[in-house]
C-alpha cells in the first residue's frame, strides 16, 4: 500500500538514476522510498530540481508544499491521466444551471450539518443552546433560492457549531470565534492545520478520478484554488477533522507547549505538527464496513467514493446523495 510521507527537514532533493535522495543541510543523505509514496508533504525549506519533478510525474507522485506556519501554499501534480471531456462539460453544465448547482450545494451543507449534530450526539452535548440553533437553521436550507443566501446560512450554522466545540474542550483551549488568517489562538491553529491536511487529501483523491477540481458548486470557482476541494471538505471536516482535534486536546496529546507565537500568529510547533500528522494519517487508514460495497473502506477511500458519486450525478446516471455516516 502506498502512503503519505511528511518531511520537515531542510535540504535538497535530488534524483540519481532511479533513486531520490534528500541531502540535509548537515550533508547527510537519505534515500526516499518513492515507489511506496503516494503524496509527499514538504514542511521544510527544500530545493527541488527538474529531474526530481520529471520522475515524480512519471510515478504519479503528488507533492504538496506548506509554508513556515504549516499553511498550504500549493501542489505539484502529475499530468492528468483520467481526463474526461464529457465529465468536464457536465460539471460545467451543472454549475451554470442555477437549480442544479443549488441542489448540489445544498447537499454538501446538509451532509455537513448531519455530521455536526452527529458529533454533538456522540459527545452527549445535545442539550446545548447552540445545537438547537443549528437545528433551527437546518430547517431553512430547503427554502433557500440562491448560493449567497445558502452561504449565509452555512456561516451562521458554523458559528454555532464552533461554539459547541468550545463546550467540549479543556478551558486552556477555549476560543470564542473562528479566526483563520491568521489563527489567533491554539484551537484555531488546530482547526486551520487540520483543514489544510483535509484539503490536500481531497485534492489527491479528486486527481484519481475524472473530476475537475476547479469546478465547484457551493464555493465560487477561482483561479487561485481548487474550489471543489472546499465543497467536499464541508462533508469531512465535522466527520473527520473536528473529532480528531477534540480528541487530541482532551487526551492531552496536544498541549499548549506544542504551539508557537510569532507576532500574534499562533501555529503548531514542529513537534505539534508531527503529533497531529501521525494521528491524522492513522485516522485516514481506519476502515469502516461499507453497507453497499459489503467490504471495509478507509476514511481516505470514502473521499474518493464521494467523487465517484458526484461524477454519476453530473453525467445524469444517479442522483447525488452525500455521505451521512451510519457508524
Extract the C-alpha cell encoding 225.
484554488
Question: What's the half-sphere exposure (Cβ side, CA atoms, 13 Å) at 52?
Answer: 18
Which tens digits make up the pLDDT trace of 300-319?
A: 999 999 999 999 999 999 99
Strands 287-289 and 37-42: unpaired
Range in 29-33, 218-222, 292-296 with the lowest mean pLDDT = 29-33
Extract the C-alpha cell encoding 102.
443549488
- Check whether 223 has a pLDDT greater than 70: no
Could you tell me the CA-to-CA distances from 187 to 59, 85, 201, 233, 268 in Å, in that order? 37, 42, 21, 19, 10
d(CA 37, CA 49): 18
Homologous superfamily of domain range 85-314: CRISPR-associated endonuclease Cas1, C-terminal domain (1.20.120.920)
**Confidence band (pLDDT; 50, 70, 90) for 33?**
confident
Q: Give pLDDT, residue 135.
A: 98
**DSSP result, 282-308:** HHHH-EEE-TTT-SEEEHHHHHHHHHH
Question: What is the total residue count of the chain?
Answer: 327
- Check whether 237 has a pLDDT greater than 70: yes
CATH fold of 3-76: Ribosomal Protein L15; Chain: K; domain 2 (3.100.10)
Which tens digits make up the pLDDT trace of 62-119?
A: 899 998 888 898 998 887 666 678 999 999 999 999 999 999 999 999 999 999 999 9
How deeply is 8 buried, as exposed, middle or buried, from its count of CB atoms within 10 A (0-12, 13-18, 19+)?
middle
Distance of CA 153 to the CA centre of its chain: 21
Domain boundaries for CATH 1.20.120.920 within the chain: 85-314
Question: Which residues fall within 8 angstroms of residue 176, CB to CB, at 6 or more apart?
Answer: 166
Task: Give binding residues for Mn(2+) as ranges.
Answer: 154, 219, 234
Task: Give binding residues as ranges.
Answer: 154, 219, 234
d(CA 273, CA 161): 25
Extract the C-alpha cell encoding 53.
519533478
Domain boundaries for CATH 3.100.10.20 within the chain: 3-76
Range in 79-93, 157-171, 230-244 with the lowest mean pLDDT = 79-93
Closest CA to 216 of 97, 112, 91: 91
Extract the C-alpha cell encoding 94.
451543472
Q: What is the mean pLDDT of residues 258-270?
A: 91
Amino acid at each position: 500500500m502506498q502512503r503519505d510521507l511528511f518531511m520537515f527537514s531542510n535540504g535538497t532533493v535530488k534524483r540519481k538514476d532511479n533513486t531520490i535522495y534528500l541531502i540535509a543541510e548537515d550533508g547527510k543523505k537519505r534515500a526516499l522510498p518513492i515507489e511506496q509514496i503516494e503524496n509527499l508533504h514538504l514542511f521544510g525549506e527544500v530545493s527541488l530540481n527538474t529531474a526530481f519533478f520529471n520522475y515524480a510525474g512519471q510515478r504519479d507522485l503528488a507533492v504538496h508544499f506548506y509554508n513556515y506556519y504549516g499553511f498550504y501554499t500549493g501542489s505539484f501534480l502529475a499530468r492528468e491521466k483520467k481526463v474526461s471531456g464529457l465529465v468536464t462539460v457536465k460539471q460545467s453544465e451543472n454549475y451554470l444551471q442555477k437549480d442544479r448547482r443549488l441542489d448540489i450545494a445544498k447537499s454538501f451543507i446538509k451532509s455537513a450539518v448531519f455530521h455536526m449534530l452527529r458529533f454533538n450526539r456522540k459527545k452527549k452535548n445535545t442539550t446545548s443552546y447552540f445545537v438547537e440553533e443549528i437545528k433551527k437553521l437546518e430547517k431553512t436550507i430547503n427554502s433557500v433560492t440562491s448560493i449567497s443566501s445558502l452561504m449565509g446560512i452555512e456561516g451562521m450554522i458554523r458559528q454555532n457549531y464552533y461554539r459547541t466545540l468550545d463546550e467540549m474542550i479543556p478551558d486552556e483551549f477555549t476560543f470564542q470565534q473562528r479566526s483563520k488568517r491568521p489563527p489567533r489562538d491554539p484551537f484555531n491553529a488546530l482547526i486551520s492545520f487540520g483543514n489544510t491536511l483535509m484539503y490536500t487529501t481531497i485534492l489527491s483523491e479528486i486527481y484519481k478520478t475524472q473530476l475537475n477540481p476547479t469546478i465547484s458548486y457551493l464555493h465560487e470557482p477561482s483561479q487561485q484554488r481548487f474550489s471543489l476541494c472546499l465543497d467536499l471538505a464541508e462533508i469531512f471536516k465535522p466527520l473527520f477533522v473536528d473529532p480528531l482535534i477534540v480528541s487530541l486536546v482532551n487526551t492531552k496529546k496536544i498541549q499548549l507547549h506544542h504551539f508557537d507565537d510569532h507576532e500574534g500568529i499562533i501555529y503548531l510547533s514542529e513537534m505539534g505538527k508531527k503529533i497531529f500528522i501521525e494521528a491524522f494519517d492513522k485516522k485516514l487508514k481506519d476502515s469502516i464496513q461499507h453497507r453497499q460495497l459489503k467490504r471495509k473502506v478507509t476514511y481516505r477511500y470514502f473521499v474518493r467514493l464521494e467523487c465517484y458519486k458526484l461524477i454519476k450525478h453530473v453525467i445524469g446516471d444517479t442522483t447525488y446523495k452525500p455521505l451521512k455516516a451510519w457508524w
